A and B are shown apart, each in its own frame.
Chain A
Amino acid sequence: MLVSDVQKILDAECICCENLIDTEINSACGSDMMSDVLAYVKDQSVLLTGLVNPQVVRTAEMMDMPCVVFVRGKKPDETIVALAKDRGIVLMSTPHRMFTACGLLYQNGLKGGCG
């Protein structure tokens, strides 16, 4: 699946790095606990989170995650967007809640990166 497919499935608004939405992703992880993401996530995952702070982008950076989706319509501030632009990480905001967003991606064939 491509990052652009995630955007369509989740009715998401792309906040930055739109030029990178053709990036391939293999799995997804939904979590507000960054240490859990750091413990379990595999390669090329999209991160879904309700947490909005710079450490979300840092976590994605360390894990080579090409895309972060903020659930429940949450929007990052300028500091977070600037960091994501610098690191080349696509940020999106979806109106769906965490459970629904994860379910929609799973239903469309994207599997979990955990375990």
Chain B
Amino acid sequence: MSEAVRLSYDVSADDFTHAGEASGAIKRTLKKLGIDMEIVRRVSIAVYEGEINMVIHANGGVIEAEISPTCIEIWLKDKGPGIKDIDLAMQEGYSTARDHIRALGFGAGMGLPNIKKYTDDMKIDTEIGVGTTVYMKVNFT
């Protein structure tokens, strides 16, 4: 792989059936490129948690990924309500998800902590009433 591979996916709001399509597609692309399975799994989990967050909290958005020979960088961009307190949101177990989301198996307050756990770099850029971009990077070596 000499040139970077760029991917982009739309994520629909409140579409729980299709939530995970973008993560699955990124996962399959990485597998095809022959990336180590453990790394593929880490990327998949991190993007999936982010994608679920976009569906639950942020009215959907766009996921963009750039795969270079040395790493994958991903931007999850939404136009949702923004995150009031990032430190609180990063705490395991803290969640603002409503009961119907918990009934679907999410909203345990593990999303952002899981993303941090599985990535080599993570940044959150958020503005109340404007939206949030979650950046993540996973190195291949």
Contact residues in A for B119 (Cβ distance below 8 Å): none
Task: Across the interface, name the chain B residue whose C-beta is closest to A50.
Answer: B105
- In the docked arrangement, what's the CA distance between A36 and B102, Å? 12
Does A35 lie at the interface of the complex (its beta carbon under 8 Å from any beta carbon of B)?
A: yes
Name which of A8-16, A18-26, A54-62, A94-102 contacts chain B.
A54-62
Say how far A88's CB is from chain B's closest CB, in angstroms: 12
Q: Which residues of A contact B45 (CB under 8 A)?
A: 38, 62-63
Main secondary structure on chain A at its contact with chain B? helix
> Closest chain B residue to A64 by CB distance?
B41
B window 1-59: CB within 8 A of A = 16-17, 19-20, 23-24, 27, 37, 41, 44-45, 48-49, 52
- Count of chain B residues near A, Cβ 8 A: 25
Task: Tell me whether B108 and A35 are in contact (CB under 8 A).
Answer: yes
Q: How big is chain A's contact interface, by range?
A: 20 to 34
- Cβ of A5 within 8 Å of any chain B Cβ, yes or no, is no
A1 interfacial contact with B, CB 8 Å? no
In whole angstroms, how far apart are the Cα atoms of A56 and B48 in the complex?
Answer: 12
Q: When chains A and B are docked, how far (Å) is the Cα of A24 from the Cα of B17?
A: 29
Q: Could you tell me if B16 and A55 are in contact, using CB atoms closer than 8 angstroms?
A: yes
A25 to chain B, nearest CB (A): 16
B111 close to chain A: CB less than 8 A? yes
Q: Does any Cβ of A come within 8 Å of B114's Cβ?
A: yes
Q: CB of A53 within 8 A of chain B?
A: yes
With A35-B114, A61-B24 as contacts: A54 and B49 at CB distance below 8 Å: no
Bitwise, A32-50 to B at CB < 8 A (1) or not (0) is 1111101100000000010
In the complex, which residues of chain B have a beta carbon less than 8 angstroms from the beta carbon of A39? 110, 113-114, 117
Q: Which residues of A contact B (CB under 8 A)?
A: 32-36, 38-39, 49, 51, 53-56, 58-59, 61-64, 79, 87
Question: B residues within 8 Å of A by Cβ?
Answer: 16-17, 19-20, 23-24, 27, 37, 41, 44-45, 48-49, 52, 104-111, 113-114, 117
9 contacts between A and B (CB under 8 A): A34-B106, A35-B49, A35-B107, A35-B108, A35-B109, A36-B108, A61-B44, A62-B27, A63-B45
- Identify 6 new A-B residue pairs, CB closer than 8 A, beyond the known A38-B110, A39-B113, A62-B27: A35-B108, A36-B110, A61-B27, A62-B45, A63-B41, A87-B24
